[in-house]
Structure 1
Amino acid sequence: MGKFINKLQLDLLKRHVFPFLFCFFTLMFLLLMQFLILHIDKLIGKDIPLTVIAELIITNLAYMVVLAAPMAVLVATLMAYGKFSELNELTALRSSGVNPLNIIKPVLITSGLLFVGLAWFSNNVLPEANQKARSLFIDIRVKKPGFDLKPNIFYDGIEGYTFLVEEIDNETDSLYNITLFQEPKNNKDQAYIIAEKGALVSKGSQALEMHLINGYSLSFIPPRRNVDESIERNAFQKHIMTLDLSDLAFMRSDPSDRNQSDRTMGAKAMFAVVDSLNKEIDQQVNTLVENPALYPINADSRKESFFAPNLVLPDSTRKATYVASNYLIPNQFQKVGIQQELVKESIRQAKQYKSKVESINANVEWRKKRINRFLVEIHKKLSIPFACVVFILFGAPVGIMTKQGNFGMAALISTVVLTFYWISLIQGEKLADRMYISPFVGMWTFNIVLSLAGIYLIIHLTTGFSIKDLFTNRD
């Protein structure tokens, strides 16, 4: 019997492989297409090297792996156990006295190993990939479009020049009726150039020569020593200009030089930031405690008043109106002017204190929100990979109960479950970021609910126990 069960367990594991790989790569393809559709407009028209585009795609594949793996696990589990139940193998297994839980254990253990691997990947590989992808996106965003002249359209992509060309022959790179404005930059005078014809000659990726034929130029010479500003007109049969294209080249920056966010940090680094933010909150609160709103002065000290430096406190105080306090009160003074000054000063200090409290409260609130964002990301690094285990707990009994191992049924159930799963995850993240719920509740609620549902279904399959049994009256 032991050998039979081992062979059966191995067979079930093998049944997961093809559906898992098929679904995983299908989802990766769909996520990749979604990524390209969203960002294709940022990549075209800028002469970005193909190697850079390939690197951008590869670095973004990291987050796709973390998302696609748990979804593929759910589909594979539903198909494998649905097929197992469809062929009545479960009935034969039960008649042999084998607990159905034994056929779930090896797959559950495998999902645990997958969870560990994905959690490591999410904490160590994904942040670095996100940082590189983010750096590449910024480099691509700031890159200027390549040199691209179009007929009857002003082009100012090269610093210091503005071009206008009436006609372009794309086959020979010939230009006709050229107008060029040269700005007074880089040791060059302001100039206005007109030519009947021209041609473009490439000088590598950093330079371009423009050969102008049959034209003239107007150069505006700025005033120099003992010479007023003047205009020079020069006719030419051929004039060669060298244009610097280095500003149009794609420049890579070092990802480590850019600031890191919660998506580009590992759990250890985020815990360090959280600890630092908590210390800053403590400092803000201590600052508030150490600076009270009013300054206490002993009423019996005979010392000069803080509010009335030239006044000595009277020997007798009005006991009837005296309030037991460490602070001076207006009734201790007989002069109305001093009382008014005291009240005005108290109001000023109260407003100043209120402003300080509001400022500290805003600073503390901002730091608490940052702490929540980091804690949400830390929990997410575990909760999404742990979905591999959750989907086995839920998918195995559901697949057995459906008794259908086809892809259509598995896809239908997976779509419903995953829709609710991702909605709960996204909304949980938003609510936790806004401090309505804790990061743990936001990231783990659906995992816990689905796990409990899966455990209940497994118990129901193995023992026949049902919730309604708890409410059934027994003699």
Structure 2
Amino acid sequence: MFIFVLQTIWLYIGELAGKDLDAEVILKFLLYFSPKLVPLVLPLTILLTSIMTFGSFAENYEFAAMKSSGISLGRAMRSLTVFIVFISFVAFFFANNVIPAAEFKSINLRKNIAQLKPAMAISEGIFNDIGTFNIKVEDKTGENDQYLTDVIIHQKKQTGGNTTVIKAKEGELVGSTESDVLSLILKEGNYYDEIKPSDYDKRKNKPFTKSYFDEYVINIDLSDFNNVNLEDESYSSTHGMLKISELDESIDSFSVSYNNRMAEFKESMYNRTGVKTMKINYKAKDTVVAFDEGLLSYYDTYDGAQIANLALGTVNSALAHLGMKKQEFKRNVQQVNKFEIALHEKYALSIACIVLFFVGAPLGAIIRKGGIGLPIVVAILLFLTYHFIGIFAKNSAEDGSVPAFVATWLSTFIMLPLGIYLTYRATTDQGLFVFDNILEPFKKLFKKAGLFKDKSKTE
């Protein structure tokens, strides 16, 4: 758990650094993110500790003493099996109640921290969203990083879009972290502003105005940002925040909405073809059309060109509409798949705890190594296999390549036969592999070829 918490700190260090946060907020941030690590930590912990415990028993001949007393391996595992089943029920309750609540808290806190003191969060090489400006700087120097080089600013418009661009060779931030106004002094730059003429034909030329300045001052109002309430919990729209009952309801509503939109789209595309209006506008004539000569041959050149252009425009419009709707439906499918994956993950966590126990416990009894050596290596290799299979399957399930149910349970289904096999080998006092069964056909082949001599006959 400590290792994964450290990984979380490094992952979100960019959001925590430079925001003048106190220790209480940082600890609260880690506290809210820690429950989301349990689905990673708990299966690995059960796998590792079961290998270490049973490996230590076998290494110290504890199982030999148990067997001499009439206690089989299955009986020795019975109490721990009951405990692991109890842990799996606790894990299910945790995944269904605690993790969604922690997800809700962590995302809202992260969203609020991102708005806190943006004047101190101008990172190099990327666009930083500050108020009504998107600011990008190539480099920052000075004692407080107040001197900027190669500044690019996109100013947002209330109507949407970034039609105003400001570029400067140098810049300087003037103000304090407690001030509600941040002054940005730009030097040696240009001001570009796009113009939208009333004539739509002239807009194709994309006209703009350009002006040069030696010094230009921008005052950024930070009053709305510095007064951020870190306890605000207005954001609640992700699948990780929902319980099983809420996920079921969301999946049903999204599915119904998706089917309705798909039906409306089919009707719309059918209407675009003009088939419905064909019977109204079409009147039967005595003229017999030879389709091999083409329909346009029965019209003069001008009318034929008009008909062809109209048909081509209709087809291109339908294709553009189809492409746009295709992307929209793809996003809808991904959203539904994410909700289904989140639903099955809550069940998969509890079952994975039981399956990995029956992989680790017999494996430790077979390899007969306890402590912190070989068991850690074996446990990490098995867990990485389990974890990466799950990640690849879930990524494939988001775009619909794999069903959400299969993707979520795939890694557990793969580990289940391994657990059954290892449990059978351990309870029947057999090794991990029976090499004699593999080598016996080769021995017989060598005997026939005269390359292998039987030692018993030689003696």
**Interval containing the TM-score (normalised by the shorter chain):** 0.5 to 0.7
The answer to which of 39-48 and 125-134 deviates more is 39-48
Structure 1 partner of 2:87: 114
Match of 1:251 among 229, 234, 238: 229
Match of 2:357 among 389, 392, 409: 392
SS in 2 for 1:406: coil
Q: d(CA) in 2 for partners of 1:114 and 1:396? A: 16
Structure 1 partner of 2:102: 129
Contact 1:82 / 1:402 at 8 angstroms: preserved in 2?
yes
Amino acid at match of 1:364: F
Q: d(CA) in 2 for partners of 1:447 and 1:390? A: 7
Displacement after TM superposition at 1:51 (Å): 2.5
Contact 1:294 / 1:346 at 8 angstroms: preserved in 2?
no
Match of 2:287 among 317, 334, 354: 317
Q: d(CA) in 2 for partners of 1:71 and 1:298? A: 65
Structure 2 partner of 1:66: 39
SS in 2 for 1:372: helix
Q: CA RMSD in A?
A: 4.1
Over 3 Å counting, the alpha-carbon distance change for 1:144 and 1:320 in structure 2 is closer
Q: d(CA) in 2 for partners of 1:89 and 1:184? A: 75
Contact 2:330 / 2:399 at 8 angstroms: preserved in 1?
no
Displacement after TM superposition at 1:121 (Å): 0.9
Match of 1:451 among 408, 416, 424: 416
- Aligned residue runs from structure 1 range 151-190, under 5 A: 155-157=174-176, 158-160=179-181
Structure 1 partner of 2:240: 263
Structure 2 partner of 1:217: none
Percent identical among aligned pairs is 19
Amino acid at match of 1:413: V
Amino acid at match of 1:294: T
Structure 2 partner of 1:295: 274
Displacement after TM superposition at 1:397 (Å): 0.8
Displacement after TM superposition at 1:455 (Å): 0.6
Over 3 Å counting, the alpha-carbon distance change for 1:334 and 1:411 in structure 2 is closer
- Aligned residue runs from structure 1 range 10-29, under 5 A: 28-29=1-2
Instruction: Say whether 1:376 aligns with 2:357.
Output: no
Displacement after TM superposition at 1:439 (Å): 2.3
Q: d(CA) in 1 for partners of 2:302 and 2:144? A: 82
Displacement after TM superposition at 1:126 (Å): 0.8
Q: d(CA) in 2 for partners of 1:320 and 1:160? A: 78
Q: d(CA) in 1 for partners of 2:375 and 2:407? A: 27
- The Cα offsets for residues 369-388 of structure 1, whole Å up to 9 and x where unpaired, read as 22222222222223234321
Over 3 Å counting, the alpha-carbon distance change for 1:151 and 1:31 in structure 2 is closer
Q: TM-score, normalised by structure 1?
A: 0.63
Contact 2:57 / 2:370 at 8 angstroms: preserved in 1?
yes
Contact 1:77 / 1:399 at 8 angstroms: preserved in 2?
yes
Amino acid at match of 2:229: M
SS in 2 for 1:430: helix
Q: d(CA) in 1 for partners of 2:3 and 2:277? A: 76
Contact 1:73 / 1:391 at 8 angstroms: preserved in 2?
yes
Q: d(CA) in 2 for partners of 1:453 and 1:127? A: 32
Contact 1:383 / 1:443 at 8 angstroms: preserved in 2?
yes
Q: d(CA) in 2 for partners of 1:78 and 1:130? A: 32
- Aligned residue runs from structure 1 range 195-210, under 5 A: none
Amino acid at match of 2:262: V
Contact 1:79 / 1:399 at 8 angstroms: preserved in 2?
yes
Amino acid at match of 1:317: T
Over 3 Å counting, the alpha-carbon distance change for 1:266 and 1:334 in structure 2 is same
Displacement after TM superposition at 1:86 (Å): 2.4
Amino acid at match of 1:287: E
Amino acid at match of 1:159: D
Q: d(CA) in 1 for partners of 2:336 and 2:144? A: 55
Q: d(CA) in 1 for partners of 2:390 and 2:56? A: 30
- Aligned residue runs from structure 1 range 405-424, under 5 A: 405-424=370-389
Displacement after TM superposition at 1:277 (Å): 2.5
Amino acid at match of 2:400: M
Contact 2:109 / 2:232 at 8 angstroms: preserved in 1?
no
The answer to which of 374-383 and 290-299 deviates more is 290-299
SS in 1 for 2:21: coil
Over 3 Å counting, the alpha-carbon distance change for 1:364 and 1:421 in structure 2 is same
Q: d(CA) in 2 for partners of 1:383 and 1:152? A: 48
May I ask how many residue pairs the two structures share in their alignment? Answer: 356
SS in 2 for 1:407: coil
Structure 1 partner of 2:325: 360
Q: d(CA) in 1 for partners of 2:144 and 2:71? A: 80
Contact 2:44 / 2:380 at 8 angstroms: preserved in 1?
no
Instruction: Say whether 1:350 aligns with 2:315.
Output: yes
Displacement after TM superposition at 1:453 (Å): 0.8
Contact 1:144 / 1:247 at 8 angstroms: preserved in 2?
yes
Displacement after TM superposition at 1:436 (Å): 2.8
Structure 2 partner of 1:285: 262
Q: d(CA) in 1 for partners of 2:10 and 2:339? A: 29
Displacement after TM superposition at 1:281 (Å): 2.6
Contact 1:376 / 1:443 at 8 angstroms: preserved in 2?
yes
SS in 1 for 2:373: helix
Contact 1:47 / 1:145 at 8 angstroms: preserved in 2?
no
- The structure with the largest alpha-carbon Rg is 1
Contact 2:88 / 2:350 at 8 angstroms: preserved in 1?
yes
Q: d(CA) in 2 for partners of 1:140 and 1:297? A: 56
Q: d(CA) in 1 for partners of 2:144 and 2:19? A: 19
Q: d(CA) in 2 for partners of 1:53 and 1:150? A: 25
Structure 1 partner of 2:138: none
Displacement after TM superposition at 1:268 (Å): 2.7
Amino acid at match of 2:287: T
Q: d(CA) in 1 for partners of 2:220 and 2:403? A: 58
Displacement after TM superposition at 1:427 (Å): 2.1
SS in 2 for 1:251: coil
SS in 1 for 2:288: coil
Q: d(CA) in 1 for partners of 2:309 and 2:422? A: 72
Displacement after TM superposition at 1:161 (Å): 6.9
Contact 1:115 / 1:388 at 8 angstroms: preserved in 2?
yes
- The Cα offsets for residues 329-376 of structure 1, whole Å up to 9 and x where unpaired, read as 948977776666555444443333333333332222221122222222
Contact 1:394 / 1:457 at 8 angstroms: preserved in 2?
yes
